[in-house]
Structure 1
Amino acid sequence: MPRPVIVLDDDPTGTQTIRDVPVLTRTDPDHLRWAFDQGGAGFFILTNTRSLGPDEAAARVDRVAREVRAVAAERGLDPVFLARGDSTLRGHFPLETDVLRAHDPAAGVLLVPAYLDAGRVTVGGTHYVAGPDGVRTPVGETEFARDATFGFTQSHLPAWVEEQTGGRIRASDVLRIGLDDIRLEGADHVRELLRKAHDGRVVVVDAERDDDLRIVADAVLRAEAEGQRFVYRTGPSFVRARLGQSASAPVPAASLRAEDAVAGGLVVVGSHVAMTTRQLERLIAARDPLVVELDASRPSDPGQQRALADEIVNALAERTVVFRTSRTLRRGRSAQASLAIAREVSAAVVDVVRAVLERTRPAFLVAKGGITSSDVATEALGMSRARVEGTVLPGIVSVWRPIDGLAPGLPYVVFAGNVGGEDGLLDVVKRAERSD
């Protein structure tokens, strides 16, 4: 029997490639028992560690792993942990896999950041990001590498591992599985290469198409069936392959709109990456929603928050509303100071959205940005259990159905900040509004 895969998602956008999988935001025994009882290959746990400092992130991953293992032991199960991270290499690596290996010291570490649906591929050990024109840029040369909290310089994954570990793991010690290994030699050969991965050795995996990852997943399953152990740090595409799913058609437009709701939907935008800003501009130009803006220079001002909530509630009765943070990004003097600012702004967004949801039920709810979508799910919606219904834009944007919280059943669209074409946000809103 395959071991259940527990995906620790550092923000909710890791569900963007899959369908019909449970999601938890809490890990007390009753919630974990519910998730295990749903059957299937595994489930997601939203840890939101990308919004936390290193010490908090480590403590959260450790706690979640302990809680999962305790409930799994009740059922005689031996879970596999997959730390889903950003396909543009931002996040707590190697911290999260180090913590997971403390629970399983023999494990090798598979690093598979590819996100094929969004043009993030790994070829020759180098990770690339494709722009709207399809041109591939080494990830270390993109805006993502200049992230205020998780910045880096290297694009070649073995060198990136050495950079991230401060030289503790040398690039020359990283095992590579290349496209020739996968395509020419096949799963048997990949399985033999994986035999070299133990005691924390990092394995980086090339991937350019879904079949590459299916072959690797097949080899991994064989290895695990023979008793070899791994922890994973991957982008969204390997999650789909490891769970045994293939790409699926978008969910029907009708399922994106609640029936017992007011006229308008609510689009919450916290991400500041360039693609989000362009998508927002296209949406505003094409649909003319009401735009309500949180002044990020004074996010905790209660007067501002009350006024924004009132304006949104009143407008939703007639039209779709975009609630965004001001577009000027505030940075601190250090990575941790910048993260603290982001968390303060996100908390204010959550306060406003929760105040809106306590008074009205939008026709749909879209959250743009990883930290934003996590905080809206857990703090504004107050949900602890949900199911990923499927994708809205294939392989890029997912829709959840909350099972509890302030708005059970409300279609909740989780849209990462750094994916999709320039019309991506517009396309999602048009479908949710049932408009051509």
Structure 2
Amino acid sequence: MGQYHKLPISVLDTFPGADAEAVHGLFLEELRDFHRKIVVLDDDPTGVQTVHGVSVYTDWEQESLMEGIQEENNMFFILTNSRSFSAQKTEEEHRLIAERSAKAAAACHKELLFVSRGDSTLRGHYPLEPEVLKETLEEQNGKSVHGQILCPFFLEGGRFTIDSIHYVKEGDWLVPAGQTEFAADKTFGYKASHLGEYLEEKSGGRYRKEDGIYITLSLLREQKLAEITELLMQAENFRPVFVDAIAQSDVEAFAVCLLRAIKAGKEFIIRSAAAVPKVLGNVSDRPLLGRRELLGGVDAGMEKGEKCGETSNYGGIVLIGSHVKKTTQQLEALKDSGVPAEFLEFRVDACLQEGGLAGERDRIIAEAERVMGQGRTAVVYTSRELLAPEGMDREDMLKLSVEISDAVTGVIAGLHRKPRFLIAKGGITSSDVGTKALGVRRASVPGQAQPGIPVWKTGPESKFPGLSYIIFPGNVGDKDTLKKIVELLA
């Protein structure tokens, strides 16, 4: 495995500039006669952090899939939340999604293109998820899937891929992903930073670094589109394709070639971070959502039975489940901000006692409602120490984390009144809040509260209809980003 060094952030300015406008024009030209529906399977709710005007479905019932496929938009998201699943459950659910999607597409006379949206810091069930999709789709429609594409670039989160080495921005440096705290994840840890080595590591050697197709920045920036397309045409037997990118124009240049290869008969499953769906969905840039848009122009403290215009000083709530270093720094910055808030620690060691988590949940609900009733913000956060009982394997660790997450998100499920605003921090936490606590079946995405921080507008079926639910990934933002959002809304 190669040894790679961190790079100064200034290295991003040393590459030949791309004519972004010309590339975008070429992409639009190819997209014009590309009529497939793009289905994005999101392993946590943060995959919509670059898009707006799209739907997110939280189930994969036939009715929901048919509804998504028949939407006017060329893309919709399905929140699988599979990052909180065991490998076995991930396989079972992805097989079910692929089977039902294939049947729904046939009924609607529509072809699909699947994007498996994963973490930009390379955590998740990979390559399992794309492999299950490939196998199931081949069984369903008899068409071979020739290649798998890996493109973890995510500008808003500071994730860049150069010479197939994936980097995470930390301050003024680009740090090889395998040397970051994310690579030490207790469930999805890894050592490699080179994408070819990463796939070789994660697959146990079933895919070899030297067998990959590499789409480099030099190919993209020099717009060698015919050469890139020819490389894609060489894909067979689910051969991996690794894509460099440091700007959206790089993804668009690659997408031009991808669409050409698909039109020429090649089939691919895409594994990416949030940048690729934005490009394939042709989603425009838009300003960050402001206070009025987030609070909806009416008092967000209204209960279901209250009428528009009734006043209330009811407060909002922040729920923090993520334990990564960046989240802890953001929590500390919020504590030092002076916002009218009370900080409530959810003691996760309660899991060591019979019925302890349920008791802790009920205590926090009462405290949070007291704080919000005073017009202040309740900031609920899990203990910063990670529980790792001796002898517990990865699957058991995942199971314990799900039990704790269920209790933490149960705080939102137990609220008796609609909060002024709701922010959930962390992938598993935010997913469980959306699906289990709020009961959302379909949400719309109006945009982002800060770069890389998406917002759901909850549907009429949810616990609190019309709530702007802010989904804050654990590994995104600067130290003061959480503070900025709370100051805007509190």
Structures share fold, TM-score greater than 0.5: yes
Find the aligned partners of 1:128 and 1:26 in 2 and give their Cα distance: 33
1:281 corresponding residue in structure 2: 332
2:317 is the counterpart of 1:270: no
2:350 is the counterpart of 1:298: yes
Find the aligned partners of 1:78 and 1:366 in 2 and give their Cα distance: 36
2:16 corresponding residue in structure 1: none
Residue-pair matches, total: 429
1:197 aligns to what SS in structure 2?
coil
Deviation at 1:398, TM superposition (A): 0.7
Find the aligned partners of 1:34 and 1:284 in 2 and give their Cα distance: 43
2:134 corresponding residue in structure 1: 101
Match of 2:255 among 203, 217, 224: 217
Deviation at 1:248, TM superposition (A): 2.3
Deviation at 1:191, TM superposition (A): 1.3
Instruction: Report the aligned-residue RMSD.
Output: 1.3
2:314 is the counterpart of 1:314: no
Match of 1:24 among 46, 57, 60: 57
1:397 corresponding residue in structure 2: 453
Deviation at 1:288, TM superposition (A): 4.5
2:3 corresponding residue in structure 1: none
4+ residue segments displaced more than 6 Å: none
Contact kept in structure 1, 2:229 and 2:257, CA below 8 Å: yes
Contact kept in structure 1, 2:148 and 2:268, CA below 8 Å: yes
Find the aligned partners of 1:426 and 1:108 in 2 and give their Cα distance: 43
Find the aligned partners of 1:247 and 1:127 in 2 and give their Cα distance: 25
2:168 is the counterpart of 1:129: yes
Gaps in structure 2 of 5+ consecutive residues: 1-33, 139-143, 302-313
Render the CA deviation track for 1:391-421: whole Å, top value 9, x for unaligned: 1113x10111111211111000111000100
Matches within 5 A, 1:417-432: 417-432=474-489
Stretch of structure 1 that moved more, 417-426 or 328-337: 328-337
Tell me the TM-score normalised to structure 1 length: 0.96
Contact kept in structure 1, 2:223 and 2:253, CA below 8 Å: no
2:233 is the counterpart of 1:195: yes
Once the two structures are aligned, what percentage of the paired residues are identical?
A: 37
The letter for the 2-side match of 1:418 is: N
Find the aligned partners of 2:189 and 2:285 in 1 and give their Cα distance: 31
1:70 corresponding residue in structure 2: 103
Render the CA deviation track for 1:312-362: whole Å, top value 9, x for unaligned: 112112111111111111124321222112111101012221001xx1000
Contact kept in structure 1, 2:66 and 2:108, CA below 8 Å: no
**Greater Cα radius of gyration, structure 1 or 2:** 2
Contact kept in structure 1, 2:145 and 2:269, CA below 8 Å: no
Find the aligned partners of 2:318 and 2:360 in 1 and give their Cα distance: 19
Matches within 5 A, 1:6-405: 6-102=39-135, 103-104=137-138, 105-131=144-170, 133-258=171-296, 259-262=298-301, 263-286=314-337, 287-299=339-351, 300-301=355-356, 302-317=358-373, 318-332=375-389, 333-356=392-415, 359-394=416-451, 396-403=452-459, 404-405=461-462
Tell me the TM-score normalised to structure 2 length: 0.85
Deviation at 1:49, TM superposition (A): 0.7
Gaps in structure 1 of 5+ consecutive residues: none
1:110 aligns to what SS in structure 2?
strand
Find the aligned partners of 1:220 and 1:430 in 2 and give their Cα distance: 43
Deviation at 1:34, TM superposition (A): 2.3
The letter for the 2-side match of 1:283 is: L
Find the aligned partners of 2:145 and 2:248 in 1 and give their Cα distance: 29
2:222 aligns to what SS in structure 1?
helix
Find the aligned partners of 1:290 and 1:33 in 2 and give their Cα distance: 44
Contact kept in structure 2, 1:214 and 1:241, CA below 8 Å: yes
2:27 corresponding residue in structure 1: none
The letter for the 2-side match of 1:429 is: V
Find the aligned partners of 1:64 and 1:331 in 2 and give their Cα distance: 33
